[in-house]
A and B are shown apart, each in its own frame.
Chain A
């Protein structure tokens, strides 16, 4: 066989390096810790994500129901006719956001460090 022991070692180390690069670069850089709820121009709540809880936030169009469970938060119900706030789904990474324009409510996940919510080129 052409492969030497040193070759095997090199290939093993390189494979580990590649696997390590996935582990290092593909884990979310900023884990979510808190959720901030903004209604109008006022922050109405800032809650930890590790405690399950439901919160009713009043806005000009009605009541928006914010649900926190399993380290994630979602807009469970909102008066907006198109359901855009609910469609944002479960938010679990820092920078994730659900917005109800009719009710003027922003549900935003915060992490220890600030990140972009989206990047376009």
Chain B
């Protein structure tokens, strides 16, 4: 290793965990961006497949790392798509925060009794509730918006089941291999 490289590494020491976070966040960001290209029937509705990564990281490496990966995804994903600090970004951040809080509580109290399927469903509903509450509070504080909530929650339940099934299958594969 050259002197210059060693200097750089001393300036910014990284751990194995940092690298793992970076890899997983990169994966989540890629999914996030690919999903942004899918047209959506309603604002606020999308499959939320990046959720799969968050839940898997939570199961495999714990909540702290899930928070890191998700925060990086929301930040870097919005920078790439070009929505940073826009309403879309705020909604995404509120949803992610709500979803992480719910996942943390569920994981702490239910532990291994909840598989990725249950966690994904919870995370999807929490994400939708979080972003809806922010939208209602900040952007359209009108009671008529509440009429949309049941429809949005239905979508998030379905997509939570889909992403949960994917996450459960991936978890089986990952935890089987050494």
Contact A11 B144 (CB under 8 A): no
* CB-based contact A7/B125 at 8 Å: no
**Within the assembled complex, what's the spacing in Å between the Cα atoms of A9 and B122?**
11
- Contacts A2-B115, A3-B115, A25-B146 given; does A17 touch B153 at CB 8 Å: yes
Residues of A with C-beta under 8 A to B147: 25-26
**For chains A and B in complex, what number of residue pairs have CB atoms within 8 angstroms?**
59
Main secondary structure of the interface of A (DSSP, over half): helix
On whether the beta carbons of B150 and A21 are closer than 8 Å, the reply is yes
Which chain A residues border B34 with CB–CB below 8 Å? none
Q: How many residues of B contact A (CB 8 A)?
A: 25
8 A Cβ contacts from A10-67 to B: 10-11, 14-15, 17-18, 21-22, 25-26, 29
- B93 CB contacts on chain A under 8 angstroms: none
B117, B125, B143: the one within 8 Å of A3 (CB):
B117
**A4 CB contact (under 8 Å) in B115, B154, B160:** B115
Docked CA distance A93–B62 (Å)? 52
Query: Contacts A4-B118, A10-B106 given; 11 further ones with Cβ under 8 A?
Result: A2-B117, A3-B115, A6-B115, A7-B114, A7-B121, A10-B121, A10-B122, A11-B161, A14-B121, A18-B157, A25-B150
